[in-house]
Chains A and B, each alone.
Chain A
Amino acid sequence: MTGVLPVTLEDSTKIVQALLHSGKEYVCVMKLHGDVEETPVKKVLAEFQDQIYQRPPLRASVKRQLRTRRIYYIDFLEIDGRNVLFKVGCEGGTYIRKLCYDIGEILGVGAHMQELRRTLAGPFTENKNCVRLHDVAYWFLEWQEKKDPNILRKFIQPMETALALVPKIMVRDSAVDALCHGANLNAPGILAAETGVTKGAMVAILTLKGEAIALAKTLISTEEILNLKHGTVATLQRVVMPRGTYPKVWKSGKAK
């Protein structure tokens, strides 16, 4: 199976969870085990465009318990004999192999996943800056010879790209180092917040320069954040920025 596989290098690995739970889009070839007309295939595909129940397949890397996943859309593309080509946009953690199997069951003839290509993983798509392993090997060697940083920029993107779909909160320089030490995010340090932050959601905390500091879990929504004067806004989940990047400005407790 081929397609978009975002790879995080070194310290950016700390934000990989933002990608794991992000939505995915695939193009899939499903092989039917019997002859079915185009109309019923289309009809059944459309039925799966919904919240679905899925039990992870035998060979899976997660606990095999029934869970729900949202299929945002299924677009029928083509049918050729027993091969059905479709595009599916779904929540992270949806098994397409299982989806094909289930579609086959509903159609009554059985089916399996023949081929799969991931065309999108969160903010990454196959059409934008998607590179092959050969390119990585070639450009890396070229960089080692010429030491031109522009060569690295051809295939490596800043980790903030991976956070493009996560709602963001921008903070003051003076709040940065405390966050790097794992402190909660408090209202006075906040300069701006993106719309669509809901209570309990994952947010990315950035500096005014746009550098990622940490991933956090919010305790309140965007509207509440903008009106809050004091108190905790979010608790940190993962810190990426090393301590000392920005100066420490807080006073520590009582003088001894």
Chain B
Amino acid sequence: MVKNVFYSTSIIAICLALGKVIAAYLGGLPASLYGMLIFTSALHFQLVNPKKIASTISWIIQHMGVCFVPAGVGIINHYQLIKDHGFALVTIIFISTFILLSFVGLTYQHLVLNKKSCTH
């Protein structure tokens, strides 16, 4: 158990370090995203054992919410913005979320699923 936690955190640290190197040379994406893609490739090419990391990774994903709290508290500096544009802000989020839901849902159901059932 302890060994797996150590293994998982080391792998993540290595992937993140490589991501930082790539981001420094290439730019484009944030370092952490290069790190994520490296981690996925390492799993895909069986350089990393998925069984050993599964439980640590799901613990991290389950608890990572607390890391976003400080960034979210920054909204405290936006009192004026919320006062002036709060309604527009929430409305834009609402509308674009429902357009996206409908677009993906309807397109997949009508084009992908129905086409498949016709050819069968």
A binds B: no
The residues of B with any CB-CB pair to A shorter than 8 Å are none
